[in-house]
A and B are shown apart, each in its own frame.
Chain A
Amino acid sequence: MAAEAYVQMKDRRWWREVSWRYLVAVAAVVYAAFPIVYILSASLSPRGTLTGSNELFADITTAQYEALFQTHFPQWIVNTLVIGGVTAIATVLMASAAAYAFSRFRFAGRNGGLTFLLLVQMFPQILAFVAIFLLLLSLRDVIPILGLNSQLGLICVYLGGALGANTFLMFGFFNSIPKELDEAAKIDGAGHARIFFTIILRLVAPVLAVVALLSFVGTFSDYIIAGIVLQDQDKLTIAVGLYQFISGQFDARWGIFAAGAVISALPVLLLFLFLQRYIVGGLTAGSVKG
């Protein structure tokens, strides 16, 4: 099924096998994009509502965006990028190291270990917030920088979930890298650290990109744990900050919220565009027996 064959194929066959795919594409894109177009319209509307702003792009004003940048929003963007970025990088490092161990070494508890990691992740964190809060409160007394109301503290909480599904995802991928590569390097005198950092990590770059993206998106959309840990206005993440706009009992500011939502989607989108060539083909390929 080489691509060239299709390029040269006859019109009739193109109509039968390919044309409808474009129709599906149009439908799919409309489906995926219309709520977002709706938010975009609401964010440009002078009316401050999310429900019932049904005449799309009736009046256009940038007032909501201007108001948005009067708040702490620019700071929130920076915070989110820093927290999300650091978490993503650290997650990739720790999860890949763990996956390397599971994939290349034999040790006691190896078989149960992976399942255990996955199962631990299933604890509903939304109800564990009391424990997280109390833990960080104690930590604050000893090491303020890891405690409550610290972004580093929040990153550490996120890193508690760095293994789990990520290791699982990577594990399959690592397995698909032939062991002969390691053996050859070992014969050349390379230690396990050199093999890991200079050979394996390069080969699994796609899955690293995927895990980084998943981790970033996860951090980015979390408002529950971030809302518990971060308290000062200038330390919040986008999700927590935006949520504040609409959680007020009497003064829900939907317009400004919509504007913030539109802008907040950009970093993830850009990251995806940037990582796409790794991601397509990188996500689950490794789980197939290699």
Chain B
Amino acid sequence: MTILTETKDGPLVLSPDQIEELGKALDELRAKTVADLGDRDREYLYSIIKAQRGFEVAGRGLMYLGFLPPVWLAAVAALSVSKILDNMEIGHNVMHGQYDWMREPGLNSRVFEWDTVCPADQWKHSHNYLHHTYTNIHNKDRDIGYSILRMDESQSWNVLRLGQPLYAFALMMLFEWGVMGHDLEVENVLSGKRKWSDVKRLLRGQLRKAGKQALKDYLVFPALTGPLFFSTLAGNVTANLVRNVWAYSIIFCGHFPTGVQTFTEEETADETRGEWYIRQMLGSANISGSRLFHIMSGNLSHQIEHHLFPDIPAARYPEIAPEVRALCEKYGLPYNTGPLGKQIGSVWWKICKLALPPSLVKSESSPGVIVMRQRKASEVGV
């Protein structure tokens, strides 16, 4: 199998010293950014919150004129933008603890809730802890395919995989519900690995949160518009759908485009800080775009920076991205990025390709950087 990240002398090999050095450079970058946090970051977050609340109020208000088709469309657009900002640039980032340093009781990761059916505490467990600690490690990071999809060649194929593009499409449309169910680890429940009492607790939380969300979007707000009940209901459903499609697309671009690497438990056992950083870089992918695009994606378009420093305010990622990229270049590491069209295209291509039996698909050259871990060559992703 050929390795994508090749130098003229063959595949890229990183020595323990290089790894250590790179780790130090990233630690310094982190310290520099943390030391600089202050008013500017606070003002930025509040300006996003203000915009989000403004769009929300506008969206809910315009639904009262929802009998006029262009106004209905505007209402849906405003509400969609509000939900996207709430989930991505505010919710995701606040719940990562990115703004805990502000000591703002309402914007602390411990208490923040977002406008989606998944309860914050469950999401923080499956995302902040499992996904961010064990990024792209098979059997540990449950985000590799979300236990529904085959997103990596090393995952086994069976005949049910043929329906994968359909499942992916369904997941995209129902994304918030998928995110909600993620922490249940349904396959572990079925295989008996998970206690019923755990699941019951989670289900109760989901019922409470989803209930509130559904009550508000699908009953109370529509009812408040009286005769326009169904028009408002349709508007709210559409806004949730738009948010789902958008969030799914951005998030799938974070780890599934061509070129990202996955890892095994053995090769990542007892990682050093430097090795951990490198895994985060090799396992993530960015999306290039305008400032507005980055804001609307919650800066998850800077997935690489986000995975290196998940608790640094996301609005800082565009500023530190050039330095991260320069470090990648210095060590010959790939820095996986591209415009949305290219990244999302390669994600869907992968979904379709991996739906087919491996015998039918030509195995492509895999990306790989040989990381000398504990003085042993571990051929990551090769």
Q: Is B one of A's binding partners?
A: no
B interface residues with partner A (beta carbon < 8 Å): none
A interface residues with partner B (beta carbon < 8 Å): none
